[in-house]
Chains A and B, each alone.
Chain A
């Protein structure tokens, strides 16, 4: 049946570090994994939603991420934070989801009506600041969006970002800077049009 929680005062999964929880999962304690989910699901869902632009794709990507993390949890090494390791999986799942959606959109290039029909983004009200921000983020080049979100929203260090994305620190810094410049431009001009950088 696996490891049960000892009836010991002070024993509380919520106070354990991620690394300790991972060890408990490997010992057979599924509740420890539940704690990890509860700790990290919100950040993962947030990143995936901002990255992919819609809730449905984000939930699929996040679901996949946690399942892969569970199945391969033996591969987690403590030299990295669990969050970074988890984000590495999530980033790959988001990239895959984007490829999938790109293929779908590509097929409709010959038919303009179909492009509109195929769009999964909700209608945005141009007067809504939050919507403007969403459009600006969505209009970023995916590499830049990814870097921007990891740095300024999820607040990973550049070293953690490098580990999670497989991209070098200086390239990441460049992407973040370009993303910032572009966002600033788009928000100032009031439309998410393509700008060369």
Chain B
């Protein structure tokens, strides 16, 4: 069984070789000075050893170079992201996937508290096939648009606890955004859209 799986995996891996061009490049850009690259390598290696996803860190470096940021700024951004990834990992637990951790880190960056992430994880309960990635993306988005993070977290938590689908969560986000742009208060928009989503959910067969 193991041998068969191994052979299958090998074939699988071969067929993915063509994807390499569009995977995250794990080398550091040559535009950066040698000392900066050395510091980044150490930081990223520490993160890897701690069990954190490193692709977001490489991506952050490349983004910084693209945007013309100076090296101290790139370093600061990578350190900050590493801290956020670590806190997200702690809050979301060992079974969280790389995407969830990255999305969780971004939610923390938007002002959501680690306890809110832990609460989401508890609300999701024992459903390991149901990552919180979409819920966390929605949460970060709402907080970035000026919704008080605690308020956004409470609403998203309620929807997650009710097992609302990812598609519905994304619709919810879009509707709240529309309401905010239309001048509605965050509290009123969240309240109305959360209720509507729950009612929709109840009516679903």
Contacts and interface: CB of A to CB of B under 8 A. Distances in A.
Interface of A: 60, 63-64, 99-100, 103-104, 106-111, 114, 117-118
A110 B50 contact: no
A92 B27 CA distance: 41
Tell me if A's interface is mostly helix, strand, loop or mixed. helix
A40 to B, nearest CB: 18
Contacts of A111: 39, 42-43, 46, 79
B161 interface: no
B114 interface: yes
Contact of B90 (A64, A103, A110): A103
A117 B42 contact: no
A121 to B, nearest CB: 15
Contacts of A106: 46, 50
Given A60-B114, A110-B46, A118 B87 contact: no
Contacts of B90: 99-100, 103
Nearest to B43: A111
Contacts of A117: 76, 79
Nearest to A99: B90
Given A100-B86, A103-B90, A114-B79, 19 more contacts: A60-B113, A60-B115, A64-B115, A99-B90, A100-B87, A100-B114, A104-B83, A107-B46, A107-B47, A107-B52, A108-B43, A108-B46, A110-B42, A110-B43, A111-B42, A114-B43, A117-B76, A117-B79, A118-B79
A190 to B, nearest CB: 32
Tell me if B's interface is mostly helix, strand, loop or mixed. helix
A72 to B, nearest CB: 13
Nearest to B40: A111
Interface in B1-49: 39, 42-43, 45-47, 49
B82 interface: yes
Contacts of B87: 100, 104
Nearest to B39: A111
B28 to A, nearest CB: 15
A107 B50 contact: yes
Contact of B86 (A60, A107, A109, A110): A107
Interface of B: 39, 42-43, 45-47, 49-50, 52, 76, 79, 82-83, 86-87, 90, 113-115, 118
Contact of B46 (A60, A99, A100, A109): A109
B43 A63 contact: no
Nearest to A56: B113
Contacts of A60: 113-115
A99 B42 CA distance: 22
Contacts of A100: 86-87, 90, 114
12 contacts: A60-B114, A100-B86, A100-B90, A103-B86, A107-B50, A108-B43, A110-B42, A110-B45, A111-B46, A114-B79, A117-B76, A117-B79
B82 to A, nearest CB: 7
A117 B49 CA distance: 20
A-B residue pairs, 5 tightest by C-beta: A100-B90, A107-B46, A110-B42, A104-B86, A107-B50
A110 B115 CA distance: 28
Contacts of B42: 110-111
A133 B105 CA distance: 34
A62 to B, nearest CB: 10
A106 B39 CA distance: 16
A109 B42 CA distance: 10
Contacts of B50: 103, 106-107
Nearest to A110: B42
A20 B42 CA distance: 57
A107 B50 CA distance: 7
